[in-house]
A and B are shown apart, each in its own frame.
Chain A
Amino acid sequence: MGLLEIKNLHANIGDKEILKGVNLTINPGEVHAIMGPNGSGKSTLSAVLTGNPTYTVTEGSVMFNGKNLLEMAPEDRAREGMFLSFQYPVEIPGVSMVNFIRTAVNEKRKYQGQPALSATEFLKMMRERKDLVELDNKLANRSVNEGFSGGEKKRNEIFQMAMLEPKLSILDETDSGLDIDALRIVAKGVNHLRNSENASIVITHYQRLLDYIVPDVVHVLYKGRIVKTEGRELVAELEEKGYDWIKREQGDL
């Protein structure tokens, strides 16, 4: 049984159908890339999987870890091991980074029946994981994402991922707006966390990131459906030819 099994997933925003029957199975240890033109529904898929209330699921099922994901509150999905690195991380003025991540870590531990970390244990863990993504010490005492540069926000997402050790991480365009150095740091963090138990979905437009985080499977999402699934060689093909041939195959050009 897969870690994530999506069957015929349909989802709306308001009256508008965005996902029109997505099927996808992800096994532990795998990295899947999801590519596709702007507006295809990639962010919608990640939002639906994490339980964003803006979207309504109208049809289909999603099993995560053998449990019905769609019935779970967003916080329970997270504590079951789902993680989204947001395309646009949210700023939360007045809530310090330390307080935020400590609450998240300890809530997860509570859910798993483990005691809260002591202050020392927590700080040690935080220091290690922060170093992994070369996040500035100062940021820990600032409000969540407030006044962070674009690159800092993305590295902060990977830092949170490192702290929460998810089973499934969805990276939604974590590479957009990153210079090559930041991209390398992000990729290093992701690869470091990769093991045979967990899995990732990497959503991106470009080959760049996939040179660093090498996918096992590559999907193309187009108009709310997965229209192509191949091995990693598809990345180079898309980079070379763009999406027009896919659109043509779909009878749109």
Chain B
Amino acid sequence: MSVEQSYIDIYNQMAGKVKAQSSAPLNALRDEAFKAFADRGFPTKKWEDFQRSDLRERYATDYGMNLTQFNINFNPYKTFKCDVQSIKSHLFFVVNDVFYCNDPKVADEIAALEQQGIVAGSLRQVAQTHPELVAKYYGKAAKWDVDTTVAFNTAFAQDGFFIYVPKQVQIDAPIQIINVMNADLDMMATSRNLVVVEEGAKLQLLVCGHAAKQFNYLCNRVTEVFVGNYGTLEMYKLEDTECCMTNIGSLFVEQQADSNVLINEITLKNGFTRNNINVELKGEHAELNLCGMAIGDGDKHIDNHTFVKHAVGHCKTNELYKYIMNDASVGSFDGKIMVDKDSQKTEAYQSNRNIVVTPTAKMYTKPHLEIYADDVKCSHGATVGQLDKEALFYMQSRGIPEAEARMLLMVAFANDVIENIRIEALRTRMRLLVERRFRGEVKACSSCPDLCM
């Protein structure tokens, strides 16, 4: 039986129950998405956009699926105590693939946000209480023609986080979402997130991934983001998980005129990671800053795939990805910026810089620009190198031990990605986490989930 067949059987048996628990906006796309998945199956290395990541193989493990959305007996608010309280945030958890609601703090936070006109909380619940709001956006940005794991997600997903920031509202503090995997068996989570930032509104969003136990986990998380005219979104994503975690994250962003989006993705520790980021600039003078860094060790696999489409002119993209690969880890960056025919006065810069520390580590890079307009300023480039030997010797000659000197150079290399973080307290925290990570401390964040403020 093929890997896909068992999931096809599950859908055929369970779709009725899933739909009954779920509501119209989410159900509307399920069958169509399921068909797209069943027709083509999971992506394999033969697919052009998956040359380095065989996702079919990742799904071959016999994972449990929590289709009845059973709430496990685990309160993350009790488990995770933070040691740094330097910035205040509205904190929520998604446990496996269920938005966690069982602690009274959740209702308090939701109410506090409601005071500001913001709708936030469980996608499943908001789809019931505000069906028209969810229906207006759900599935409108996410496409599954390239990546059938998005179709899989659309067929099965029932919950995740939802955030709606209405016109001109500037949220009082960042929203922090912690995705926690916690199950006493091999477990799959399929969750769906939706973020809407309306005209002139502003949202800072911190998302991190965490695994509470050492089972095989697979997360397929799809996030759709809509940013209106003059809207601002900063999205900081941190992965600091275990070796047995497969993370498939897909992000779809649509930006309207004069909007400003920052996406900053840091992979400190992981197992197998595949991130797909798709951004479409749909209104003039929109600006995108897309950056990320990844640290690989052991036999970890980190694959970032980005696609930015300049559908109109006068927009700007700044893309920077950096990798530091140790041991026998494998990194891949595949980034494309496409400038449509009439998108004149586009500015688009893409850069991928990598350090391969050991001879057994591998880095694949495929930066590309596809430009159909003629009046544009664009550049792209990639480098793969080692740590600067002269700098290393210079430091050693001042009495700094080699290991420390290497650490300083690696932190320095990562620095410009960290510098992109616009929240000062988060920047400081991230610098510390990166440094701890390079020092080889087991868990970068000692007593709390990773982005915990």
Contact = CB atoms under 8 A, between A and B. Distances in A.
A94 B415 contact: yes
Contacts of B394: 86, 89-90, 92, 144
A188 to B, nearest CB: 22
B427 to A, nearest CB: 14
A92 B395 contact: yes
Interface in A65-108: 73-75, 77-79, 83-84, 86, 89-95, 99-101, 103-104, 107-108
B408 A75 contact: no
B47 interface: no
Given A90-B390, A90-B391, A94-B416, A78 B408 contact: no
A111 B396 CA distance: 14
Interface string A42-63: 0000000011110000000000
A13 B55 CA distance: 49
Nearest to B410: A94
Interface stretch (B26-34, B306-314, B326-334, B398-406): B398-406
Interface string A117-148: 00000000000000000000000000110000
Contacts of A83: 397
A175 to B, nearest CB: 20
B390 A104 contact: no
A90 B408 CA distance: 15
Contacts of B415: 94
Contacts of A174: none
B396 A95 contact: no
A160 B412 contact: no
Given A52-B393, A74-B393, A107-B404, A93 B398 contact: no
Contacts of A90: 388, 390-391, 393-394
Contacts of B391: 90-92, 95
23 contacts: A50-B397, A51-B397, A53-B393, A73-B396, A73-B402, A75-B396, A75-B400, A75-B402, A78-B396, A78-B397, A84-B397, A86-B394, A90-B390, A90-B391, A90-B394, A92-B409, A95-B408, A95-B409, A100-B398, A100-B408, A104-B398, A160-B398, A164-B398
B415 to A, nearest CB: 4
B400 A107 contact: yes
Contacts, number: 80
B387 to A, nearest CB: 11
B428 to A, nearest CB: 14
Given A51-B397, A92-B412, 16 more contacts: A51-B396, A73-B402, A74-B393, A75-B399, A75-B400, A75-B401, A75-B402, A78-B399, A90-B393, A92-B395, A95-B395, A95-B411, A100-B400, A104-B399, A104-B400, A107-B399
Interface of A: 50-53, 73-75, 77-79, 83-84, 86, 89-95, 99-101, 103-104, 107-108, 111, 143-144, 160, 164
B396 A94 contact: no
Interface in B394-453: 394-402, 404-405, 408-409, 411-413, 415-416
Given A52-B393, A89-B394, A99-B408, A94 B401 contact: no
Nearest to A81: B399
Interface in B30-71: none
Nearest to B390: A90
Contacts of B399: 75, 78-79, 104, 107-108, 111, 164
Chain B, interface size category, equals: 20 to 34
Nearest to A103: B400
A84 B395 CA distance: 11
Nearest to A109: B399
Contacts of B411: 94-95
A100 B395 contact: yes
A107 B408 contact: no
A95 B412 contact: yes
Contacts of A50: 397
Contacts of A74: 393, 396-397
Contacts of A52: 393, 397
B419 to A, nearest CB: 9
Contacts of A77: 397
Contacts of B400: 75, 100, 103-104, 107
A193 B400 CA distance: 22
Nearest to B399: A78
A68 to B, nearest CB: 18
A185 to B, nearest CB: 21
Contact of A94 (B398, B405, B413): B413
A99 B390 CA distance: 18
A160 B408 CA distance: 18
Contacts of B388: 90, 92
A116 B31 CA distance: 65
A94 B397 contact: no
Nearest to B413: A94
A103 B394 CA distance: 13
